[in-house]
Structure 1
């Protein structure tokens, strides 16, 4: 029985969002791209592929067509 290569099929399509790790240092927020999710064909969930797994801060999903978030105070963006 052939096994489908999930990572290869994910990379053929653009992600639905980009995953950003956001940390707060005083008044500044720092955004680092950590991965992306793809919506399931049935529309009832997502598969998230992370390139790294942060241990602090938060992960924010944003549309990929937007410019990279600024590193200024983005506290209201979650």
Structure 2
């Protein structure tokens, strides 16, 4: 087990379909910065077939706001 797996993820990964108020965000995984700071380790629960992947800072307040 690496250090990245023992800490809280720094980012959340979402697949986003649509734009603006009509966009649908689906949580698909998490990410941690690598030890050297030059990349990220991703842990995905799903792979999107369409739409785009967005990586956001792991902020529980933002997630609650988006979910309503």
Report the CA distance between 1:20 and its aligned residue.
Answer: 0.7
What residue ranges of structure 2 are gaps of 5+ in the alignment? none
Paired residue for 2:62?
67
Identify which range, 9-18 or 62-71, moves more after superposition. Answer: 62-71
SS in 1 for 2:54: strand
- Root-mean-square deviation (CA, aligned residues, Å) is 2.1
Structure having the larger proportion of residues in helix:
2
Paired residue for 1:44?
38
Paired residue for 1:76?
none
Larger Rg: 1
Q: TM-score when scaled to structure 2?
A: 0.77
Q: TM-score when scaled to structure 1?
A: 0.68
1:1-78 correspondence runs (5 A): 5=1, 9-24=3-18, 28-65=22-59, 66-68=61-63, 70=66
Q: Aligned partners of 2:4 and 2:36: how far apart in 1?
A: 15
